Amino acid sequence: MAAAIATRKRPALDDGPCLPAAKKRSRYVFGSIYDYKKLGVLGEGTYGKVVRACHRPTGEMVAVKWVRATRGGGGEGTRAALREAGCLAACRGAPSVVQIRDVAADEASGDLFIVTELVDGPTLRGRLNRTGRFPEATARAAMRQLLHGVAWPENVLVGPGGALKICDFGSATPVRPPYDPEDRVGTLWYLAPEMLKGSRCYGPPVDMWALGCVMLELLTGEPMFLGVETKDDLLVEVSQLRHKMDSDGMAAFKGLPPDLSKAAGELLCGLLCFDEGKRLTAAQALNHRWFSESEEAESMGLLTEDASEEAESLGPEDT
């Protein structure tokens, strides 16, 4: 990671859910990337590479997301980094969200580096790929945590003790309109019907639909709309699902375990309600009998398995 000491004012991360646009960046200074020693690559985020690093002054292990200023052209990468950092800052203290530590910069290139706590474990999707669908009890434990935030499986890390941490806010959007008509909020397979139909108003119901998609994925082992490539095609699939749910209830969902409880089916249908006004809220979902009927502690087995086989061997490497 090439870097230089920045000379601009550090962004006021606690001032709101989003940082100013990139064109106002000159008002801010960022931390020095020289303070971090790169140890290995963890993966790719929405707008850049993510590496494991050590904070030289304190020795804390962190994750550093390198966002290239030229990614996407027109400063898109920089704007996304500032937005992501602001959204992470707004979630400070939330137990199910990866915590931001710093924002560093490279003055020469204009690249930004988002520094967060390191959650040293596999992704939820990686665990699904390894084990297949989760038993109902394990899916319930995961959903209990995810309902305290918003997520897609590849953006959820499995930490020590099975704790889930939501990460990668590269596509995060503040809960307010308007948006650029060409912007797409979230990942295609998890977009709510109202977003597919052109709504530019993002709110909690959109996230609850996505969590319904995640719940189904945990119970079946694969995404509900796997293979769909366009918004138009997805809207057709979602509309067909709506009609099947109206007539068949939870039987409309393919691949569910035959012994799945009626309570689980009720919650699933509530999260995947086509009418956003009738879709369950997070509070309603957490108060559903599916959660009250069982303790979370019984169901964390798969989430706490030794992930050593999945972890990539990372050798030390100077920045």
Report the SS3 class of residue 19: coil
**Cα–Cα distance, 166 to 169 (Å, whole number):** 9
Start-end of H helices in 113-203: 124-131, 136-146, 193-196
* Cα-based distances in Å from 101 to 19, 98, 113, 270: 15, 10, 11, 36
Q: For residues 217 and 152, what is the distance between their CA atoms, to the nearest angstrom?
A: 10
Tell me if residue 99 falls in helix, strand or coil.
Answer: coil
Q: Do the annotations mark residue 65 as ligand-binding?
A: yes
Amino acid at 127: R
CB 31 within 8 Å of CB 94: no
Q: Which amino acid is at 52?
A: R
Q: Where are the beta strands (DSSP E) in 45-163?
A: 48-55, 61-67, 100-105, 112-117, 156-158
Tell me phi and psi for residue 121, to 5 degrees. Answer: -160, 175
Q: Round the CA-based radius of gyration of the chain to a whole number and report it.
A: 20
Q: Is 276 helix (H, G, I), strand (E, B) or coil?
A: coil
Going by the annotation, the residues of the binding site for ATP are 65
Going by the annotation, the residues of the binding site are 65
